[in-house]
Structure 1
Amino acid sequence: MQPFDGRKGKRLAYDLVADLRFFAFYIGNETILAYVAPWKHYNIEKVFEPGEALGHIFTISLYNRYNEKGEHIRTGVNVSQRIGQYIQHISEPDYQPHPPFTAEEFSPGSVGDWREVLVSFMRDFGKRNLQTAPLEGFVGDYAEDIINYGSGLEMLTAIIGNIIRLDSDYQVMNEDWVRYRASQYIRAHQDLTYQVQPRFKAWETALWS
């Protein structure tokens, strides 16, 4: 694939990418719900199983915390509590969250929105359904070790956040390249013989804080 020139367009703010990578880290190390209800056991392992759960909790977080420009917003939703409700919802068939989850809650975005680009990647990744060249021919579950390991999911999310570029209308200019580079990281993480070309630059893998 032809590399995208990272000097084009507008990047996501450094503090936003930092927020995203910390969020991913807390998923991977299973502390994302540590302060919601310390006395309650949430079956966070459900997120690591093949399916849409990973994409859904990214959706809950991104669309209740940021707008299409990457600015912080307040929607009145307690994100951690809502994620806790979702985990309980997929773990316990008889549990009824309030308010109930709807299809619209998990598909609020439009094509080209940076939030949808990230959510769509995580949804496909969680389902083990990334149709990208770097993962062609790979045999086995390429997602579990990354999702269920804080720093692996953290780095994957940081790479996506660092590479996304927006045009003047805040539409993502390089989604194919974002998915390609993120998939290269996944392949290299799982296959020690795989050579990432072109090699990752420092800014692509930077862990902003």
Structure 2
Amino acid sequence: MTHLPTDVRAAIRFFAFYLANDTLDVDLLDGIDYRDRVFRFGSDLEMAFAIFTNVLEVDEEGRTLNDGEAQYRVAQWIRMRCDPDYTAEPPFEAWETELHGP
């Protein structure tokens, strides 16, 4: 059995840290207290991780290529959930918000 590459595990760990500590893309989410919403409703937290892992790209050596972009897409989705006047650019594609698993 193989494990996720160290770089991928680190990217997920930092994403979880930023999300939980209200430091996920501080410019885009400035003044928006999203934590209550994201952590109160399991489906919002589930979607945040789905978007992050769907957008995250990894090279052949297991190094992450765009963890900042993956975090930004999650921040855009959170902003849309908290601010009905906000529109993500570019709009989310179906593959970005796809939930995998049983």
TM-score (norm 2): 0.88
Task: For 1:164 and 1:122, locate their aligned partners in 2 and report how far apart those are by CA, in whole Å.
Answer: 14
Deviations 1:72-97 (A, max 9, x none): xxxxxxxxxxxxxxxxxxxxxxxxxx
Q: 123-132 or 150-159, which moves further after superposition? A: 123-132
Deviation at 1:117, TM superposition (A): 0.8
Q: Does the alignment pair 1:155 with 2:47?
A: yes
- In the other structure, the counterpart of 1:142 is 34
TM-score (norm 1): 0.45
Task: For 1:204 and 1:146, locate their aligned partners in 2 and report how far apart those are by CA, in whole Å.
Answer: 18
Q: Does the alignment pair 1:116 with 2:52?
A: no
- Taking a change above 3 Å as real, the CA distance of residues 140 and 180 of structure 1, as seen in their structure-2 partners, is closer
- In the other structure, the counterpart of 1:178 is 70
**Structure showing greater Rg:** 1
What is the aligned counterpart of 2:3 among 59, 63, 67?
67
Code of the residue aligned with 1:180 in structure 2: it is Y
Contact 2:32–2:82, Cα closer than 8 Å, also in 1: no
Deviations 1:152-178 (A, max 9, x none): 001111001111111111000111111
Task: For 1:192 and 1:161, locate their aligned partners in 2 and report how far apart those are by CA, in whole Å.
Answer: 25
Structure 1: runs of 5 or more not aligned: 1-65, 70-108
Deviation at 1:114, TM superposition (A): 1.1
Q: Does the alignment pair 1:126 with 2:20?
A: yes
Higher percent of residues as helix? 2
Structure 2: runs of 5 or more not aligned: none
Task: For 2:88 and 2:12, locate their aligned partners in 1 and report how far apart those are by CA, in whole Å.
Answer: 21
- In the other structure, the counterpart of 2:96 is 204
CA RMSD of aligned residues (A): 1.6
Give the number of aligned pairs: 100
Identity %: 31
Deviation at 1:67, TM superposition (A): 1.9
